Structure 1
Amino acid sequence: MSWLLQLYKTYEANLDQVGIIEKKANDKEYTLLPVAHTTQNAHIEVNITEDGNFHSAFVIDKINTVIPSTEESASRAGSKIAPYPLHDKLSYVAGDFVAYGGKVKKEEPFTYYIEQLENWALSPYSNDKVKSIYSYLKKQQLIKDLVKENILYLDKDEKLIEAWDKKYESLHGDKPAIFSVITGGQESAFIRFNVHSSTRLLEKVWNDTAMYDSFIKYYNNLLGGEDLCFVTGQKLPSTEKHANKIRNAGDKAKLISANDKAGFTYRGRFNKSIEAASISYEVSQKAHNALKWLINRQGKAIDNRVFLVWGNEGSPLPSPIEDTFDISRMMPGLSGEPTQTLFTNKEFSREFAKALDGYKNDLSTQADVNILILDSATTGRLAVLYYRNFNKEIYLDRLKKWHSTCVWHHGYKKGTSFIGAPATKDIAYAAYGPRANEKIVKGLMERLLPCIVDDKRTPKDIVKSCLQRASNPASMEKWEWEKTLSVACAVINREEGFEVALDKESKDRDYLFGRLLAVADVLERRALGSEETRSTNAIRYMNGFSKHPARTWKTIQDSLQPYQARLGTNGLYLTKLMDEIASKIELDDFNNKPLSGKYLLGLYSQRHELYQKKEAKEPVEENSK
């Protein structure tokens, strides 16, 4: 229950955000929902005058709307009649639904809807907007008015058209807008109501905090007896029906459910589901609403698996699945840009630590950090796959260590480069390729979390997969290989602890073989010139080189002779560098034992240094000798 408690605390700490509309990067709106409210995609907006008459209506394109909700309506399914208190489908809110050919099974939903609305409108907790909407709807002429307004359309028998067909063009012309926003018949259109005033500007009903408070007070008065809440330990009205629509407006999966009275959900151990776990209505509502808000605000979704990191105060926190570049944009103390002083792990660690220390100071001393992963195996059940609650300083220290050890120089961000750790998603693509199944990708991302937040060793199969793909550049395009190489170097370097900058003093056999391969690649590339785009022999033989370095090096060196001749004195520097590196390899180590991932570190660092040098200076230095 700890994750529910933390979500409940988050809601309580952000009461000032309730009902405030925020926007995502894609312009979709979301809000921290009030208690006893949910969201629905509306298709038609109907404006009512203050004295309870029809004013106007128009079609809207599936706009997500905050609506009052009861326990029953929030979990209604199939043919069950459970009206929402105010906004609902046409079959519920239109008193003339049956008169215009609407089909009902046994009972008319409008009867239940209008009775429920009347109880609210006539209660001590009502307000003028509720009364205005009730006064209009009890006249039972909604469809009649919508037909006059050219919102809904009838066939020649004066019945609602079930589905648009070309035969109706003779009656109504081109396809009406309503049939473009609904998937079923017109009876499935969801109606939201607003109150219009000709003398003053009124807050929209679905954004009006007075409307929220009115229904919350009214509904709290209807709740039943009290039970012990397992989350707070207090005696409060409990609920057995918990919220859905957690990941998005169409999400039917629930985190808490016990609706199988005849099966084995809880029977055999308990008589009633509430004996297994009793959760108060208020806590359930606030915790689920906080979760929805946080997912919209800062959650990351991969194939419907949600990765969420948050603090109790609700402010965004650095996520363990992001790369250093994206985290650095949250922290003004770190740019992420590689410089001479940041090109070693120690210097980078110092700068990253400073930035995180500044971030710590922005958080309250009692703040916790929560990490939650959610996914569903079926459309109805949502599971907590991973949950951890940390002291914020421990979390930020673990994050600092990951970004200071799983570190390399990366150039795959468009228009920039950075030094640090790659995103866990990029590690998955480096291990399995960019076309890997999303189930595999999200599984690997989950497996990497303990490596980041618990400082566990990177699983050997992930390191091996990154090494194998980076050693096979012929199987991918150049940009993809360059990205795979830098990500693989970061993963391998977490285990090996090399500097990003070239280590000229290292006598490690595998590192030196990697340096040799880099020099051979650069020498041939310079001889070919910038216009030639084909791979060099060093790159083409890279996979074989990683498995049989001594034998493959002879093949690569033989193929280099024409390019050395073409460069002449301009290639003398690189030839001497190859000789210098080869001389550092012990005689007994110059064999065909397969190379470890350290050869990739040597390859990358040597290539990077050579590309950083000004080519124009090398021949001058050589000729002056």
Structure 2
Amino acid sequence: MTWMAQLLKTYEANQGQVGIFEKKRNDREYALIPVAHTTQSAHITVVLDMDGHWLTAQVVDKADSNTIIPCTEASSSRTSAPVPHPLFDKLMYVAGDYIRYCGDVKGTPYADYMKQLGEWCGSSYAHPKVKSVYTYLAKGTLITDLIRAGILWADKQGQLLAKWSSEMETAHGEKPEIFKVIASDQSAAFVRFAVQAPGEPETRLWRDPSVQQSFIDYSQSRLGSSDLCFVTGKVLPYADKHTSRIRNSGDKTKLISANDTAGFTYRGRFKNSREAASISYEASQKAHNALKWLIERQGFTMDGKVFLIWGTEKLEVPDPYAGSFTLFDEEDLEADGGDGTHQAYADMIRKGLAGYRYDSDYKSNVIILILDAATPGRLSIVYYRDMNKELFLDRIQRWHETCSWEHRYYQEAEKTYGTYIGAPATKDIAYAAYGSRASDKLVKSLLERMLPCIVDERPVPLDLVRSVVQRASHPVGMENWEWERTLSIACALVRKHEKEEYEVALDTKNEDRSYLFGRLLAIADVLERRALGDEKRATNALRYMNAFARHPGRTWSIIQSNLQPYQARMGVRDLIVNHCNHELDIVMDRLRPEDYNDSPLSGLYLLGFSSQRRDLYTSKKDAADHKTDSIQEEENE
């Protein structure tokens, strides 16, 4: 129960955030939910006065639909069984005239709802605004009033419309708002209430702390027997059922559940579910609500799988899935681009992590949690890691320093490209390995596989490295920007997997066979690109790149023979071409005779290719200054 204890600790450390709404990037609101409450997307807001009289109603905008609602143990974990929420709910529960407009329903949802709401209103914890809701709903005219107000729509037979047809659009014009915010038919609309009281500015019951506290006090007074809580170690009223809607308001999966009334899952091991694990109601509510809040706040979901990282004391921690680009500020990026060595880059990484490291938070932990659902009703923890914050930051720093290469980035404001040395984002690694059209299922699987490589310093999977190297060796099959990104990511992974000492700057002393062949390919590419000028077609070096990686000796002969006409046409007066020819001779001299064969190259050839190409493109000034003796003599004449 360590994960629940950490979530409980997080909830209690952020008690001041309970009930306070924040906005996500998509403008949807979320909040840390109080005990005995959950969230639901509402479609209709009904406004009443203190005497329970109808005032108005409106369709809820999607950005404002997230609603904190009171719930019981049974309603918070309901699936198909009709169990009402205490205050806000769907039409079948809150509308006394539901059967008249929608037909028969299973059970007696409206009667059950009114009985439950009446018990709250009749208790010593009752709230006057809740009583006004009860008074109005007892009239049983909710759907009638909503139709009269133009919120809901009925057909000629007096039944709620299932959908807005073309005939209705011809007769009545544009589709009504209710059909734009609800995925199913109108009968599934979720209703919330606001009550206008003299002298009280807050009319929204779902935002009224006094209403929330009223139900919390009422629900705690009705809790049952106590037992030892496995999370807190105290004897407290236990939870029979645990909440769902963890990943989103429509999620029916649960992390903790016990179903042994049929099928006999326990096979005689336990008399009841509490013998397996007993969790108090308060601990369950706080832990689950903290988890929902953290997922909304800083988690991300891909194909149903949730990735979440947070700190127990300070919630914000560096994202291990993000690239180094997110750690740099604008000044660092403008100052970058030196000689390609990693010392300056390592200093930038330390500077980027300093804000997380030096915050007087020395004893906190970082929690890494991955959730996924194998079935629609069961959610499982597929990865859990609880580690010291300093160790976590050391591992993140180590990853960014060792799995790095030079990458390009785009500045939206200036509409310009730049370069930086750093580690790629994990999502970009997935797309580099499997293509830009890779499915979410494939990408989320790779994200899970890469996490131990980052936080536990495990080796990068060899199949992943091979896949990225293979795709980087096929430049003709990709757009130029995609291939450049794939190439830089491949170099970063090869460096991490093979030898972390390799630098982005050209290593002129490296005599590795693959590295030298990669340098040859880069020189041929730059030389032919110089000759082609403005022509956009691929060079022979790039067109033969895949074959070159598999059969370098034979393929190089083909590339070199195709290169000779360009060399002859440009002659020795082109200083850059002359510099390329000079580099070509140097690299050929370094190749040992026994290395010049058709044995396949390792991924290191990409490092040689990238570094040599970078050196040629960034040293044009040096190339211009480099003159052969024959040119100098001719100029002197």
TM-score (norm 2): 0.92
5+ unaligned residues in a row in structure 2: which ranges? 412-416
Letter in 2 for 1:344: T
Question: Any idea what SS the aligned residue of 1:202 has?
Answer: coil
Q: Are 1:25 and 2:33 matched, yes or no? A: no
608-617 vs 360-369, which deviates more?
608-617
Question: Any idea what SS the aligned residue of 2:460 has?
Answer: coil
Contact 2:231 2:283 in 1 (8 A): yes
The aligned counterpart of 1:579 is 585
The aligned counterpart of 1:349 is 346
- For 1:265 and 1:350, locate their aligned partners in 2 and report how far apart those are by CA, in whole Å: 56
The aligned counterpart of 1:118 is 118
Question: Any idea what SS the aligned residue of 2:313 has?
Answer: coil
The aligned counterpart of 1:532 is 535
The aligned counterpart of 1:450 is 452
1:414-563 matches, within 5 Å, as: 415-494=417-496, 495-497=498-500, 498-529=502-533, 531-563=534-566
- For 2:158 and 2:602, locate their aligned partners in 1 and report how far apart those are by CA, in whole Å: 78
1:44-443 matches, within 5 Å, as: 44-62=44-62, 63-78=65-80, 80-98=81-99, 100-105=100-105, 107-156=107-156, 158-161=158-161, 163-165=163-165, 175-197=175-197, 200-328=200-328, 335-336=332-333, 339-341=336-338, 343-362=340-359, 364-413=361-410, 415-443=417-445
Letter in 1 for 2:98: F
The aligned counterpart of 2:414 is none
Q: Are 1:618 and 2:615 matched, yes or no? A: no
- For 1:16 and 1:52, locate their aligned partners in 2 and report how far apart those are by CA, in whole Å: 33
Contact 1:338 1:418 in 2 (8 A): no
Contact 2:93 2:110 in 1 (8 A): yes
Q: CA deviation at 1:132?
A: 2.1
Q: CA deviation at 1:477?
A: 2.1
Q: CA deviation at 1:272?
A: 1.2
Letter in 2 for 1:2: T
Q: Deviations over 1:176-202 (max 9, x none)?
A: 433443344433221110012465522
Change (3 A) 1:326 1:617: same
Letter in 2 for 1:123: S
Change (3 A) 1:396 1:574: same
Change (3 A) 1:164 1:433: closer
Question: Any idea what SS the aligned residue of 1:410 has?
Answer: strand
Supply the RMSD in Å over aligned alpha carbons.
2.3
Letter in 2 for 1:89: K
Q: CA deviation at 1:347?
A: 2.7
Q: Deviations over 1:238-281 (max 9, x none)?
A: 11321211112221111111124222533332121221111111
Letter in 2 for 1:372: L
Q: Deviations over 1:4-27 (max 9, x none)?
A: 111111111111111111111111
Change (3 A) 1:583 1:303: same
The size of the alignment, in residue pairs, is 619
Quote the sequence identity (%). Answer: 53
Letter in 1 for 2:340: F
Q: CA deviation at 1:560?
A: 0.7
Q: CA deviation at 1:138?
A: 2.2
Q: CA deviation at 1:439?
A: 2.0
- For 2:334 and 2:304, locate their aligned partners in 1 and report how far apart those are by CA, in whole Å: 33
Question: Any idea what SS the aligned residue of 1:67 has?
Answer: strand
- For 2:335 and 2:525, locate their aligned partners in 1 and report how far apart those are by CA, in whole Å: 24
- For 1:165 and 1:541, locate their aligned partners in 2 and report how far apart those are by CA, in whole Å: 58
- For 1:316 and 1:294, locate their aligned partners in 2 and report how far apart those are by CA, in whole Å: 10
The aligned counterpart of 2:15 is 15
- For 1:136 and 1:254, locate their aligned partners in 2 and report how far apart those are by CA, in whole Å: 35
Letter in 1 for 2:374: A
Contact 2:328 2:348 in 1 (8 A): no
5+ unaligned residues in a row in structure 1: which ranges? none
126-135 vs 554-563, which deviates more?
126-135
Change (3 A) 1:314 1:53: farther
- For 1:381 and 1:107, locate their aligned partners in 2 and report how far apart those are by CA, in whole Å: 26
Letter in 2 for 1:606: Q
